[in-house]
Amino acid sequence: MTIRRFDLEEDLLKLEVYLREEYLANRNMTSWLPERLNDLIWRMDVQYTDAGLLRSSDFIYLWEDEGRIAGCILPDGDAVYISLDKDYEDLYGSMVRFAEENLLPLFSPDEDGTIDFLVINNDSLTSRKAYLEANGYSRQKEEDYDNFVYPQQADVSVDLPEGFRLAYGDEYTDEDNKWSACNMGFHPDLESPVYRNGMSAYNSRKNSTMYKDSFECLIIDENAEDPNDVCSYSFVYVDLPSKTAYIEPVSTRERYRHKGIGTAMMHGVIQRCRELGVEKCYVNSYDWRRKFYNAAGFITEDTIGFYHKALRRNS
């Protein structure tokens, strides 16, 4: 077994194949989809570096058995995910310990030098949960959720009030408005026209290996008095070889919430996925958002626990 750091140019397609095979073997999101890897590299990492933080992809590590990936550590900011082939599950403990020793630079220490080290694990992976709890990790009360829909079976329609319309990315050309939705998620305090942090993350995403098959879905307010007429937005990564899709991000501007606008947008996503032959479409959620996705036709598949442990860099 060899352990080495991920190299973007040499390993991206290989890691995509591994994640795709893990999905096809498990048919769930207990391992990342290759779409999520692309989102990390081409969107989130650019946002991290724009903010003066380290790139998460520089801390991806691969475990290989005779050249075949057996598992990997996948960090996302100050959080650590671990993917393992079922035949190598006994490596989990050693991978957690490796992460504790090698991923600390991604975490900011508290004033006393302590680092709140965070490992994320699907609750359905009970043996990993038991390991973490037996080795000093505590699970926080708040949790995330994996949600899915089968587009080929879903009975949905796009129902909108008068003056609103559904559009896909290539049907709406105002890149600045789409960037605002993608990059900032319609936070009211960031919608000022004087606020700009560049479109680097939005444009970088176009380098994704699956960008040509992916799409944006948005709802337009054609009666808007201001130029920010995008009221609901999502980007959908599509991996045709696995017939899966992953939605990230999803946002609805605050003043348009609770009007059915976001649900109509999600139904537009499902309809386009059906046209593309996608068999299973995923979205990750937390707290109240799960209820929103469930109401739009998504089923909650798994809960995701956040496991914390206090560490020091010199420990």
- Interval 218-260: pLDDT, tens: 999 999 887 778 999 999 999 999 999 999 999 898 889 899 9
pLDDT at 266: 98
Could you tell me if 169 and 234 lie in one domain?
Answer: yes
Domain count, the chain: 2
Range of the domain at 13: 2-145+303-311
pLDDT at 47: 85
**How many whole angstroms separate alpha carbon 260 and alpha carbon 237?**
23
pLDDT at 195: 43
Model confidence band, residue 189 (pLDDT cutoffs 50, 70, 90): low
- DSSP state, residue 261: H
* Of the candidates 237, 240, 246, the residue with the CA atom closest to the CA atom of residue 205: 237
Could you tell me if 307 and 185 lie in one domain?
Answer: no
Q: Which amino acid is at 263?
A: T
Chain centre to alpha carbon of residue 40: 7
Q: Is residue 135 part of a domain?
A: yes
Could you tell me if 296 and 307 lie in one domain?
Answer: no
pLDDT at 91: 98
Could you tell me if 127 and 169 lie in one domain?
Answer: no
Q: Is residue 157 part of a domain?
A: no
Q: Is residue 270 part of a domain?
A: yes
Per residue in 53-112, pLDDT (tens digit) is 999 999 999 999 999 999 999 999 999 999 999 999 999 999 999 999 999 999 999 999
107-118 burial, b at 16+ Cβ within 10 Å, e below that, comes to beeeeeeebebb
Could you tell me if 124 and 169 lie in one domain?
Answer: no
Could you tell me if 168 and 127 lie in one domain?
Answer: no
Q: Is residue 158 part of a domain?
A: no
pLDDT at 246: 98
Could you tell me if 8 and 92 lie in one domain?
Answer: yes
Q: What distances in angstroms separate CA 190 from CA 141, 187, 254, one per listed residue? A: 29, 5, 12
CATH classification of the domain holding 58: 3.40.630.30
Q: Is residue 155 part of a domain?
A: no
Q: Is residue 153 part of a domain?
A: no
Model confidence band, residue 217 (pLDDT cutoffs 50, 70, 90): very high
Could you tell me if 118 and 53 lie in one domain?
Answer: yes
Could you tell me if 172 and 137 lie in one domain?
Answer: no
Q: Is residue 60 part of a domain?
A: yes
Could you tell me if 199 and 239 lie in one domain?
Answer: yes
Could you tell me if 6 and 45 lie in one domain?
Answer: yes
Could you tell me if 121 and 178 lie in one domain?
Answer: no
